[in-house]
Structure 1
Amino acid sequence: MRRIWTWGILICLSLPKAQAAEDIFPLSEVKPGMTATWRTVVRGNELKDFQLEILGTVPEGLGPGWSTIVGLATDPEMIQIGGVAGMSGSPVYIDGKLLGAYSYTYTWSKDQAFVGITPIEQMFKIVDAFDLGEQQGFQALSPFSVPSVSQTTTPVQDTSFVDWSPQPVPTPLSFGGISAQTLQTLQPEFAQVGWQAPVTTGMGASSEGQPDYSLDAGQPMAAVLMTGDFNAAATGTITWRDGERLLGFGHSFLGAGNVAVPLAGAEVLTIVSNQRLSFKLSKFGDIVGTIFQDRASGIAGRIGPKPPMTELNLRTRNAHGWRETYEAQLIQHPQWTSLLAATTVLETANSAMSAGERQTLYLHGQIYPEGMNSISFERVATGPSAGAMLARRLFAELYDFLDNPFEPVTLDRIDLSLEIVDSWQLSGLRSVNIYPEAPQPGDQVQVELKLLNYRGDERKLLVNLQIPPTADEGDTFAVVIADGEQLDRETSDGGGVPHSLEDIALSWSLERVPGRLYAALIKPTEGIGLEGAALPNLPPSVLQQLSEPNPSRLNRPVSQIVVDEKNFSLPGIFQGSYSAQLTIR
């Protein structure tokens, strides 16, 4: 059982049924015209009260069995700035009794500040409803879930269809150590993981020596996604606290259900008034606990034990001798671990010390899945968008692995090494000559390649491929020149549909390096590709038996095998392909 599962059980064992530490104002007693107060922080950590008028309740306002209370702010300050991102979770009181959480608003209304309130009775259900069997951290998706990130493109959501409906008050996500340029480039990827709320830069973690932040009702709280040399956290407000337990936000955060998100206190620098949507500009403190439930009516957390995080080590160097090492801790979540790792790579490529007009990027990586052997990989990108291409590929590949349909998996560590060259490095095929054209069994086939780089400079490369001595007259072979990714697509040896997480890890280790030049001698045959080895010319009974899916091995039928192969690491990327048929005489 993996760590994230046992973590959820640990939290549940120490979390009894929710019992209010203060009086509750029942939803059934709410009447139009009542005066209510909501409490929040607009600067620093000083609590401030604001008035609102209750307009009424909306049964089933959030869905079957989930009501909403609607209010209207009466303080001129709040009417002017409207809904404020980061204020969600602010406790609302009637006669000193807790009614619920400020959580919804009409973002386009500026002369009227409507407030949607999630009743506290519904928020208590987050704690009360989840027993031991359901506290299991992030869940693996079933094989029939949504397609993988690498197979889909999710456009930015157009909310105009429901623009007249109250929206959850957005939870602003603040980054430190990440530039606006990087975030703007990866905006489609943030939308792809479902993040539509505001994103700000230049903020993040508080400096050392800051006092411990209070985590009482009305105070800001941070859901930490990344901390270290790069950091990111989303800030909302605490609605209720009883001892180590707390509730906040009044709506979902990531919409992930059972979670293990680091919890920290926060400080509000100011409220930035914006015509579209005002927001709290905040920074967060040390991690002090865990958010363990993320549901439609809010989030539930506990102060105390901290969740495990993925360690990220990123080393970089450029051609001028500049070197730097960055360290960070990432939330353990299939989408966000992948996206945040990709974000740090793009930021490093874009940084002032490494950015250049023309770049080629070499990325060497190693991931350490919990309970499994480490997996190594190499990637290279060149051209005007090299950094974005490399980051997007890393995001898609990590996400496909972590979001596999077989079992939950987390990464203990990610080690990345990024080398930056200040020039475009790209080679393509100009011509191919093969000698002899009609080889005999056991002959060496010499392949002469003429390559051109993007400047038009020519380079010659000689490759020797061995015809098997057992070849018969009339046998046919194909000489294929391609980069590693294309050769993987054109050959089926070692491929197959994965039946387990171990199969996915094996497929990573078997894949050829994208962008590297490969020369292969291929023979048509019928057989099985079994765990990376091609088994040709099998008897029909054996072929049928091995063709059946088996969860313990990666297998598939093959129609050809690679009998000889060479690869060459050229500067940058090789693009192009060539194929020619040889007949044995």
Structure 2
Amino acid sequence: MNLRQFGHTWALIFLVTLPLFGQSVEFYPLESIQPGQTGYGKTVFEGTRVDTFQVEILGVLKNVGPKQNMILARLSGGPIARTGVFAGMSGSPVYIEDKLIGAVAYAFPFAKEPIAGITPIREMVDIFKEKPESGPRRARRVNPDKMYDVAQLPSFLSHFELPQFFVEPSLTRGQDLGRLQPIATPLNLSGFSPRSIQQFSSQLELLGLVPVRGMGTARMEAYEDVPLQAGSTITVQLVRGDIEVSASGTATHIEGDRIYGFGHPFLSIGTTDLPLNKGAVLTIIPNLMTSEKVSVTLEPIGSIKQDRATGIMGVAGEEAQLIPVRLRLHTSRNEVKELNFEVVTDNFLTPFLMSFTVHSSIVSSERSIGDQTIQVKCTISIKGQSDVNFESSVSDLVSSPVFAALAAASPVNFLLNSGFEELVMEKIDVEITAVEQTREATVETIWQDRLEVDPGEEVHLTVFLRQSNGDTIIKKYPVKIPEEITPGPLKIVVADGMSLTREDAETGVGEFIPESLQQLIKAINNLKKNDRLYIRLVREQEGAIISGEGMPDLPPSLLALYGSRKTSGELKSMGEVIYVEHELPATEFVLNGRQEISVNVK
């Protein structure tokens, strides 16, 4: 079954299971809950069968968060005496007198008894009653230098905040051990390198996710076909195909076509669109820190639409929109490996998952330490627009796979967070080429064949590139002086793309607020590359930068006119004017360095 067939099976499944949705359940009033009351909970300990466990109420904690309460209870029964409250149990419904009181969602790390915090069901349901309002999205300032900032690990968590009240951090971190914390969510990973999982484990744990390696999608025939119900295992699928990523929890309540679960945030990303599937439990692994449920993903049932403080809410029969990705790795052993998968569409998750999958594909075939050069080419197809093309190379002894993974995710991150609502990614193609050599070269010096030149004539440059092993490469380039240039001194700059990009960032050249998606795509496609040289003809002269473009030779009247438009934020004065810029052919090296010479135009 291909990805598309798999993705569309939800429709048939929904028709089969539709009569089971919407079973009415009465809620037990929070104000009637008293210490000493007993009840029961529902969850899956193995396979797909929903089992029960016993619950003893210890009390109600008032105002643990803004208009949020929590029921404290002791759990028992099944394997709980051996495992305690375990990861993947989040969302397990709890009942008193057959009336639903809420979902198991919080626990104490290293607790000697299975004490759990239960999120009241009314708070889980009420938070999703009103449709969230979203203000108009505004285009954001584009700075090309940030597209090349792969020399440092950019934090994709910078615009992502975990809940800040009593529940931070999750059970995976082991901090603030005396406080109730959200039960960690098992993250099932299939097709990932152990080294990559280790590399990204700190980010995953920060999000309250416990990586579980080797678990993917299973055939439903291998498990008892139990209808989806409160207590069933559910999985949120983030990546599916040749590699898979899914998070597992428990369904708390089903009302009409709505499915409520978890009882705490999954990632707290608000309005979203993530595939929701049935799941099956293989086993529960006891652990002193936090035991975890090992599960597999079964057939799709709908889509997660909301992820907020008191849980997640999905809609049965809805199909989440995923982005097809093709990843081709040209290894250092002249092999070609291809992965095809789909990834969720989300401003935070998509670039993070792209970085994770690219890193895993590299380290599963290539060395992590030693001489290495990796080239990344990323093509993003956007509905109704030209393709976005991005290239970057990295050569490093230790961190090449990390930097290459971030380079592949950078344009995705840049686009999704640009603020243009009409942006729809149709597919992503990533080409990676790896060699076990350090291929770096520095612009050491340049020579010229003349000091004076007439307009329209050529200056012949000799560029000396010093490799990391000490060898010198000599390149010769002719540079034509523009016909219309006025007499006077002229600088000729030879530099790599990254150096010029950072130089432009300091002066404001190339920085602007795009007025359309087309402008943004053009800006990304015009980004300079770090595997080739650029030659610029520059003169010290008053000019202006308008919408990222240098405007030389402006008469004083126009400079004054544009200068009066300071409220637009789109004009900057500049003391140097770029007359001509040439992009030279690509090389096999990661280049760096900047040199300049001067000629006098007669």
- TM-score for both structures, normalised by structure 2: 0.84
Aligned partner of 1:122 in structure 2 is: 123
* 1:128-167 equivalences in 2 (<5 Å): 129-131=129-131, 134=132, 153=155, 162-167=176-181
Select the residue among 50, 53, 59 that pairs with 1:50: 53
Task: State yes or no: 1:507 paired with 2:547.
Answer: no
User: How far is 1:139 from its partner?
Assistant: 8.7
Select the residue among 367, 374, 382 that pairs with 2:387: 374
Aligned partner of 1:348 in structure 2 is: 361
Paired residues of 2:408 and 2:430 also in contact (CA < 8 A):
no
User: How far is 1:87 from its partner?
Assistant: 0.4
Question: 1:324-378 deviations in whole A, cap 9, x for unaligned?
Answer: 3221111110111111112222122112378885332222111123443321111
Paired residues of 1:466 and 1:564 also in contact (CA < 8 A):
no
Change over 3 Å in CA distance of 1:527–1:87 after alignment to 2: same
Aligned partner of 2:228 in structure 1 is: 215
Paired residues of 2:445 and 2:595 also in contact (CA < 8 A):
no
User: How far is 1:234 from its partner?
Assistant: 0.6
Task: State yes or no: 1:580 paired with 2:597.
Answer: yes
Partners in 1 of 2:254 and 2:392 — Cα distance? 48
Change over 3 Å in CA distance of 1:544–1:507 after alignment to 2: farther
Question: 1:481-531 deviations in whole A, cap 9, x for unaligned?
Answer: 211121123246961221445243232122111232223222233334456
User: How far is 1:463 from its partner?
Assistant: 1.4
User: How far is 1:181 from its partner?
Assistant: 0.9
Question: How many percent identity over aligned positions?
Answer: 26
Q: In terms of mean alpha carbon deviation, does 260-269 or 388-397 score higher?
A: 388-397
Partners in 2 of 1:467 and 1:125 — Cα distance? 70
| Residue ranges of structure 1 left out of the alignment (5+ in a row) | 1-14
User: How far is 1:76 from its partner?
Assistant: 8.3
Paired residues of 2:444 and 2:593 also in contact (CA < 8 A):
no
* 1:541-580 equivalences in 2 (<5 Å): 541-546=557-562, 548=565, 557-558=573-574, 559-580=576-597
Paired residues of 1:222 and 1:234 also in contact (CA < 8 A):
yes
Which amino acid in the other structure matches residue 108 of structure 2? Y
Change over 3 Å in CA distance of 1:196–1:501 after alignment to 2: farther
Change over 3 Å in CA distance of 1:460–1:163 after alignment to 2: same
Paired residues of 1:518 and 1:568 also in contact (CA < 8 A):
no
Partners in 1 of 2:450 and 2:583 — Cα distance? 18
Change over 3 Å in CA distance of 1:72–1:372 after alignment to 2: same
Question: 1:37-68 deviations in whole A, cap 9, x for unaligned?
Answer: 1111121112222212101101112x232211
Task: State yes or no: 1:205 paired with 2:205.
Answer: no
Q: In terms of mean alpha carbon deviation, does 365-374 or 176-185 score higher?
A: 365-374
Question: 1:404-455 deviations in whole A, cap 9, x for unaligned?
Answer: 2454744221111112223221112343222213434333222212223222
Task: State yes or no: 1:85 paired with 2:101.
Answer: no
- Matched residue of 1:28: which SS? helix
Partners in 2 of 1:226 and 1:545 — Cα distance? 53
- Matched residue of 1:57: which SS? strand
Task: State yes or no: 1:26 paired with 2:41.
Answer: no
Partners in 1 of 2:87 and 2:136 — Cα distance? 29
Task: State yes or no: 1:180 paired with 2:180.
Answer: no
Aligned partner of 2:532 in structure 1 is: 516
* 1:429-440 equivalences in 2 (<5 Å): 429-440=443-454
Partners in 2 of 1:30 and 1:412 — Cα distance? 51
Aligned partner of 2:315 in structure 1 is: 302
Paired residues of 2:512 and 2:548 also in contact (CA < 8 A):
no
Aligned partner of 1:425 in structure 2 is: 439
Aligned partner of 1:260 in structure 2 is: 273
- Matched residue of 2:584: which SS? strand
Q: In terms of mean alpha carbon deviation, does 25-34 or 525-534 score higher?
A: 525-534
Change over 3 Å in CA distance of 1:188–1:227 after alignment to 2: same
Partners in 2 of 1:344 and 1:19 — Cα distance? 38
User: How far is 1:462 from its partner?
Assistant: 0.6
- Matched residue of 1:387: which SS? helix
Paired residues of 2:108 and 2:179 also in contact (CA < 8 A):
yes
Which amino acid in the other structure matches residue 376 of structure 1? N
Task: State yes or no: 1:60 paired with 2:63.
Answer: yes
User: How far is 1:315 from its partner?
Assistant: 2.0
Partners in 2 of 1:140 and 1:113 — Cα distance? 45
Aligned partner of 1:444 in structure 2 is: 458
Paired residues of 1:493 and 1:533 also in contact (CA < 8 A):
no
Partners in 1 of 2:460 and 2:80 — Cα distance? 78
Partners in 2 of 1:142 and 1:375 — Cα distance? 18
Which amino acid in the other structure matches residue 320 of structure 2? P
Which amino acid in the other structure matches residue 516 of structure 1? R
Partners in 2 of 1:50 and 1:333 — Cα distance? 36
Question: 1:107-141 deviations in whole A, cap 9, x for unaligned?
Answer: 231x12211001111112134x224xx387x9958
| Residue ranges of structure 2 left out of the alignment (5+ in a row) | 1-17, 163-167
Change over 3 Å in CA distance of 1:135–1:413 after alignment to 2: farther
Select the residue among 523, 527, 537 that pairs with 2:543: 527
Which amino acid in the other structure matches residue 592 of structure 2? Q
Paired residues of 1:348 and 1:354 also in contact (CA < 8 A):
no
* 1:326-345 equivalences in 2 (<5 Å): 326-345=339-358
Question: 1:277-330 deviations in whole A, cap 9, x for unaligned?
Answer: 111111112322111111211111121121111111112223543223221111
Aligned length: 556
Partners in 1 of 2:387 and 2:561 — Cα distance? 31
Paired residues of 1:356 and 1:422 also in contact (CA < 8 A):
no
- Matched residue of 2:402: which SS? helix
Task: State yes or no: 1:248 paired with 2:264.
Answer: no
Aligned partner of 2:510 in structure 1 is: 495
Q: In terms of mean alpha carbon deviation, does 528-537 or 223-232 score higher?
A: 528-537
Aligned partner of 2:165 in structure 1 is: none
Paired residues of 1:30 and 1:57 also in contact (CA < 8 A):
yes
Aligned partner of 2:7 in structure 1 is: none
User: How far is 1:36 from its partner?
Assistant: 2.0
Select the residue among 494, 498, 501 that pairs with 1:485: 498
User: How far is 1:549 from its partner?
Assistant: 7.5
Change over 3 Å in CA distance of 1:454–1:560 after alignment to 2: same
Partners in 2 of 1:383 and 1:459 — Cα distance? 20
- Matched residue of 2:453: which SS? coil
Task: State yes or no: 1:415 paired with 2:429.
Answer: yes
- TM-score for both structures, normalised by structure 1: 0.86
Task: State yes or no: 1:228 paired with 2:241.
Answer: yes
Partners in 2 of 1:213 and 1:401 — Cα distance? 42
Partners in 2 of 1:116 and 1:270 — Cα distance? 23
Which amino acid in the other structure matches residue 94 of structure 1? I
